[in-house]
A and B are shown apart, each in its own frame.
Chain A
Amino acid sequence: MTDVTFILHDGTRRIVDVADGISVMQAAVMENIKGIDGECGGCLSCATCHVYVESLEAGELPAKDPDEDALLEGVAAELRPESRLACQIVMSPALVGLVVRVPERQV
């Protein structure tokens, strides 16, 4: 289990303890984090799990799949260098202190 901090659109922070092997998108949906949708269930076809990665204390995020890059081109909110699709970030104890910001909108 590893903590992930979500910064919601209104600025509130929510910390969720996520089991290993679960993606940040799955954790957000299960915990009702408003603003992360994950319509396709993590199949890299909806781009409704867009987040901004604010910080990470240790470990490395998985590299971006070309399909993720392609899909990020079409996200509804502003695309930034720290944009990721949350369904592609699978949690493990190696990822310490992950903080993600929920974008203004997904569609």
Chain B
Amino acid sequence: MISQEQNDTYTRVGPGSQCGELLRLYWQPVALVDEFEGPRPVRPVRLLGQNFVLFRDEQGRYGLLDRDCPHRNADLAFGRLENGGLRCPFHGWLFDVDGKCLETPAEPVGSKLCQRIRQGSYPVEVRSGVIFAYIGKGEPPAFPALDCFVAPDTHTFAFKGLWECNWLQSLEVGMDPAHASFLHRFFEDEDPEASYGKQFRATSIDSDLPITKVLREYDRPEIAVAAADHGLRLTTLRPIDETQTHVRVTNIVFPQAFVIPMSPEVTITQWHVPVDDHNNYWFTIFTSFTGPLDKKTMREQRLATYPEPDYRPLRNRSNAWGYDPSEQKAATYLGMGFDINIHDQWACESQGPIQDRTREHLGTSDKAIIAYRRLLSAEIAKAASGETPLMHLDATAAAALKGPVSFDGVDRSGDTERYWREGDARRRAAAPWGGEVEA
């Protein structure tokens, strides 16, 4: 339970807010490269309560500009893509990717107005199918050498989706290992072979146990949280019998991402990016340690529930997320189908636009949430006093920040830590790009 004031500090992210100022010090995912495949590579972007337009010019350069035209504030997201930039359809002012005004065609010949106009523009970088932007003050940090950024394009796949609630409650689902035993419980296990590209359907490493079965049958996990260079590492142990322990290692990459295993081969790196105080986009990069990913299948699977252009899920509050009481009785714990992503969506959207944390009661199994909020408070204070917050990295530190290790397996040695470290090292050694990760 926290005070209203503290809850506001964590959740309000508009310009000038304390947490907003912290989050502006990091590269933020703003779009998928896939969104720019069509005939008109222009997309509106709303990030941290600010409106932008993102476009790709004829030279293939991406530009992120303030969305309102500096002339009379018409919407540049409806602009004409031509002549080296984006042209406002109201009076024809033309801007390049750097926000430079190239033409003001209605002004008298010889007018210098154009030279003095500069539309707000922000640095943009593309990594593993995701377009990242930096809208904060000063120099942007360097990109860390996370697995999802280091793996070749063939071994990553990116997707996104809109959740209609505050960013923090969505992120907090990702640091709550206990919920998986309940929220995601299926009464029958699917054939793991038939579940390409879906979460929790695989078997754990070194076992023939479907993850669904482990979660269902061993529901009082022992959770340990440790500080790490990237944020937090969570180790969740589920003792199966005298000789076997299910081990799951997950991470928070500060400030807004988690890294978890999807299957023995694939990890999920997922950001929760505030659109504004009441909405967030999840951006996920799937990273394979074995073969290339079947991106087409993975994209089609997800577009079926998160249609373009806004990637707003078909199941949402307006249709009670497709809740089916008979399914809840017979097949799933929640009654909203077999897609794990929708379970998590319901969990955080059902908490309300901004979870009222003055009314919560946290338990022992919520210890990672408590640790994260402590970290967030400390880093908000650092940013406010002009210090460099965690993960705002220079090039050297960024190159050294690898991994992080995420793992799901069954240990029989009794030394669970050694087990997951060695298992991860083996997987990396076998991967075409895996490299090494500091133990």
- How many Cβ-Cβ contacts under 8 Å join chain A to chain B? 13
Which A4-35 residues have a C-beta within 8 angstroms of B? none
Complex Cα spacing A54 to B327, Å? 80
Nearest chain B CB to A70's CB is how many angstroms away?
9
CA distance A52 to B331 in the complex (A): 80
Q: Does B116 belong to the interface (CB within 8 Å)? A: yes
Q: Which of A21-51 contact B (CB under 8 A)?
A: 40-45
Task: Judge if A67 is at the interface, Cβ distance under 8 Å.
Answer: yes
A67 and chain B: residue at smallest CB distance: B112
In the docked arrangement, what's the CA distance between A28 and B222, Å? 62
For the complex of A and B, the 3 pairs showing the least CB-CB separation, nearest first, are A43-B116, A45-B113, A43-B113
B117 interfacial by beta-carbon distance below 8 Å: yes
By a CB distance below 8 angstroms, the chain A residues around B113 are 40, 43, 45
Majority SS of interface residues in chain A? loop
Bitwise interface map of B from 100 to 135 toward A, beta carbon under 8 Å scored 1, else 0: 000000000001110011000000000000000000
Taking chain B's interface residues, is the majority helix, strand, or loop, or is none over half, making it mixed?
A: loop
Q: Using an 8 Å CB-CB cutoff, how does the interface string of B70-113 with A read, 1 for contact, 0 for none?
A: 10000000000000000000000000000000000000000111
Q: How far is the CB of B297 from chain A (nearest CB, A)?
A: 51
State the A residues within 8 Å of B (CB): 40-45, 67
- Chain A, residue nearest B117 (CB): A43
Q: Measured between C-beta atoms, what is the minimum distance from B361 to chain A in Å? A: 44
Bound-complex Cα distance A29 to B117 (A): 19
Give B144 Cβ to nearest chain A Cβ, in Å: 33
Residue from A41, A45, A67 with most neighbouring chain B CB atoms (10 Å): A45
Q: Which residues of A contact B112 (CB under 8 A)?
A: 44-45, 67
Residues of B within 8 A of A42 (CB): 116
Q: Which residues of A contact B117 (CB under 8 A)?
A: 43
Query: Which residues of the partner chain B approach A67 to less than 8 Å between Cβ atoms?
Result: 112
Q: Inside 8 A of A40's CB, which chain B residues have their CB? A: 113
CA distance A42 to B118 in the complex (A): 11
Closest to A44 in B: B116
Residues 27-82 of B contacting A (Cβ, < 8 Å): 70
| Alpha-carbon separation in the docked complex, A45 to B112 (Å) | 7
CB distance from B281 to the nearest CB of A (A): 32
Q: List 13 A-B contacts (CB under 8 A).
A: A40-B113, A41-B70, A42-B116, A43-B113, A43-B116, A43-B117, A44-B112, A44-B116, A45-B111, A45-B112, A45-B113, A45-B116, A67-B112
- Whole-angstrom CA separation of A103 from B111 in the bound complex: 25
Encode B173-210 as 1/0 by CB contact (under 8 A) with A.
00000000000000000000000000000000000000
- Report Cα–Cα, A45/B113, bound state, in Å: 6
Known: A43-B117, A44-B116. 11 other contacts (CB 8 A): A40-B113, A41-B70, A42-B116, A43-B113, A43-B116, A44-B112, A45-B111, A45-B112, A45-B113, A45-B116, A67-B112
Cα A21 to Cα B113 with chains together (Å): 21
- What 0/1 pattern do residues 386 to 402 of B give for CB contact below 8 A with A? 00000000000000000
Q: How far is the CB of A46 from chain B (nearest CB, A)?
A: 9
Residue of A nearest to B118 (CB): A43
| Beta-carbon nearest neighbor of A40 in chain B | B113
Nearest neighbor of B70 in chain A, beta-carbon distance: A41
CA distance A107 to B126 in the complex (A): 49
- Specify the chain B residue showing the minimal Cβ separation from A43: B116
B70 proximity list for chain A (CB < 8 A): 41
| Chain A residue at minimal CB-CB distance from B101 | A43
Q: How far is the CB of A48 from chain B (nearest CB, A)?
A: 14
Q: How far is the CA of A44 from the CA of B116 in the complex (A)?
A: 7
Q: Closest approach, in angstroms, between the C-beta of B357 and any C-beta of chain A?
A: 34
- Please measure, in the bound complex, the distance between the C-alpha atom of A45 and the C-alpha atom of B110, giving whole angstroms: 11
CB distance from A102 to the nearest CB of B (A): 23
Chain A contacts for B111, CB-based, 8 A: 45
Chain B's nearest CB lies how many Å from the CB of A16? 21
Tell me, in angstroms, the Cα distance from A40 to B107 when the chains sit together: 12
Contact code string B347-383 (vs A, CB < 8 Å = 1, else 0): 0000000000000000000000000000000000000
From A87, which residue of chain B is reached at the shortest CB distance?
B116
Name the distance in Å between B11's Cβ and chain A's nearest Cβ. Answer: 27
